[in-house]
Structure 1
Amino acid sequence: MDIILRALKNEISAILALAPTDNLHWCGSHTDLFEAAALVCTSFPLYTSAGQLYRVGPLIHELCLRLHLDEPHNPRAYLYKAKHRKYVRQVPFQQRYAQCLRQMPRPLFAMIRVGEGKEPPFSSSSPQPAAGMHVADAPDALDATHCEG
């Protein structure tokens, strides 16, 4: 699981390196994105550009800013929802992320769309590698975000 969390940290760090003016939009579940942020914050030290340690709230704020999401008034409510949905309707985010990671290098980037609107970056005929995590082909998503490696 450590490899999975490191991959998740690398993706979150790459998203934080993007500018809000890049016109990127998150097309996945808000709860999944916020759960990913909380996993990274509780598993690894992640620092702001000023050298301060990120906490969950400020990290969610920064992600919302870069991915043009309306920031929730209470992000912990999303984390509470994530905690209580596990094993009820779908497997936990970390397991779904691990399944996607086996098939593509950067699953979170596959849920980011460039341009206006929040339409999903995939069609109904696109491959969906893991149940509950709808993603597009990773190379297309990476090319569209101008983020290599």
Structure 2
Amino acid sequence: MAGMAPEGSQFDAKHYDSKMQELLSTGETEEFFTSYDEVFESFDDMGLQENLLRGIYAYGFEKPSAIQQRGIVPFCKGLDVIQQAQSGTGKTATFCSGILQQLDYGLVECQALVLAPTRELAQQIEKVHACTW
């Protein structure tokens, strides 16, 4: 049933909804509604690993799009990020870059999981990941 947590889960949808309503009605949203104002004009300025930079340029990117200028660095810093932009603006490359920047390539274990609603989008994400690293 939609909205129901699996058995044994500690998530309580009713409690979550009431807490969200409380926070939104009192205006105490600063702890989770923030904006990240830093804008990076080039990929080189973002402090990305050299191999990742090479992959980004080899993939064909020359200058970061608006979503990339604002989204890659906070993602790399481990911040919770919600990004919204039109199709074709580089959203996939934005979060792929953030994921690849954070991986420890000395560990042979799962360190990231990307969920996609369609097979086509999953294949696109895999292609971007493979090409940028």
* TM-score (structure 1 length as normaliser): 0.22
Q: TM-score, normalised by structure 2?
A: 0.23
Higher relative contact order (CA 8 A, sep 6+): 1
The answer to which structure has the higher strand fraction is 1
